[in-house]
Amino acid sequence: MTIRNNWTREEIAEIYNRPVLSLIYEAATIHRAYHDPQEVQVCTLLSVKTGGCPEDCSYCPQAARYHTNVKVERLMDVSEVLERATEAKDSGSTRFCMGAAWREVRDNRDFDKVIDMVKGVSAMGMEVCCTLGMLTPAQALKLKDAGLYAYNHNLDTSEEYYNDIITTRTYGDRLETLESVRNAKISVCSGGIIGMGENENDRIGMLRVLATLPEHPESVPVNALVPVPGTPLEDQPRVSVWEMVRMIATARIIMPRTMVRLSAGRVRMNLEEQALCFMAGANSIFAGDKLLTTPNPGGLRDQEMFQVLELHPRPAHKK
Ligand code: SF4
């Protein structure tokens, strides 16, 4: 199967709406052609600067304007971050992602500290990823020079639904940041969230944007909304596992080489539901009991899952 960047909405909709068992079967077949199905990337995500964000992302407890129980914390010290990265490595993570609740990167002392964090984690042999908001081409190059392996910047949803979720920056801004990352030869991580009140066309629309970028993102996180009290989306109903499976399987079929990450919302899934997601082509997870500020299954539950499903972690820097 060739890698395509010219998917139409209709083609993706046809895949997304197939009978779910056939959809899983096809995704599993493609998954086996491109990946070791027993191998799952294990990433740790650490919030290095929490809360107080000026943006208005409706799902996010870190936005300063919402009254949530997130405590604002300033940028962590480099030494503390490196300790946490060492713990993550010792417990089996091969990718370490650092998130800062910023609208955009500013060229100041905090950015210099992040550069030192990137250098330190990179020297440990882990894949280093950051998610710091919008990025200019020059900042992307600086991060690349420091050893940054990947940059996360999610599209969140379709272009059509985007303004219902965020008004403080545009879809175009997001795409520009992704372009800066790509041009700096940093691996691109970009996906979205389902369960925010969008319809299936929006989900398909978001997948189409990702699958028609000049190069597919190397990593696509698929998140299920974890509604947080105090945010505008606090009362959203839970998405079903079948909706997650459809998203993951469709992403796997249209972007065969990409690592598809089963991300937020995993805490609400039992082992069987997660196994379905792996069957549908997911091959990356976040480890640790927190995803930035929301809960995530702890290490013990994951160890048990890896044993039962006979999974093994993907080594860092594997091509
Ligand atoms: S998702 Fe990121 S940019 Fe949006 S409010 Fe939260 S921390 Fe800020």
Q: What is the pLDDT of residues 99-133, one digit of tens each?
A: 999 999 999 999 999 999 999 999 999 999 999 99
SS3 content of the chain, % helix, strand, coil (to 5): 40, 20, 40
What pLDDT sits at residue 302?
84
Q: Tokens 């299920």 correspond to what residue?
A: 224
Region 24-31: what's the mean pLDDT? Answer: 98
Taking CA atoms only, the protein residue closest to ligand 1 atom 4 is 57
Residue 306's φ and ψ, nearest 5 degrees, are -60, -35
- Please tell me the distance between residue 77's alpha carbon and the centre of ligand 1 in angstroms: 21
Give catalytic residue positions. 53, 57, 60, 97, 129, 189, 261
**How far is 236 from 226, CA to CA, in rounded Å?**
9
- pLDDT band of 296, cuts 50, 70, 90: low
Q: Name the pLDDT band for 242 (thresholds 50, 70, 90).
A: very high
Measured from the CA of 166, which atom of ligand 1 is nearest? 4
pLDDT in the model for residue 317: 81
Residues 126 and 37: their CA atoms lie apart, in Å, by 22
CA distance 234 to 111: 32
Per the structure block, which two tokens stand in for 11? 């083609």
- Averaged pLDDT of the chain: 93
Best probe residue, ligand 1, of 62, 66, 154, 171 (max atoms within 8 Å of C-beta): 62
pLDDT of residue 289: 61
pLDDT over 70 for what percent of the chain? Answer: 96
- Ligand 1 neighbours (beta carbon < 6 A): 53, 55, 57, 60, 62-63, 101, 133
Mean pLDDT of 137-160: 96
- Ligand 1 centroid to residue 247 C-alpha, Å: 23
Task: Give the distance from CA 316 to its chain's centroid.
Answer: 17
Q: Is the pTM of this model over 0.85?
A: yes
How far apart are alpha carbons 254 and 271 in whole angstroms? 26
Measured by CA distance, the residue closest to atom 2 of ligand 1 is 101
Report which ligand 1 atom has the smallest distance to the Cα of 103.
3
Q: Rounded mean pLDDT of 35-54? A: 93
**Distance, CA of 98 to CA of 242 (rounded, Å):** 30
Stretch 152-181: mean pLDDT, rounded? 96
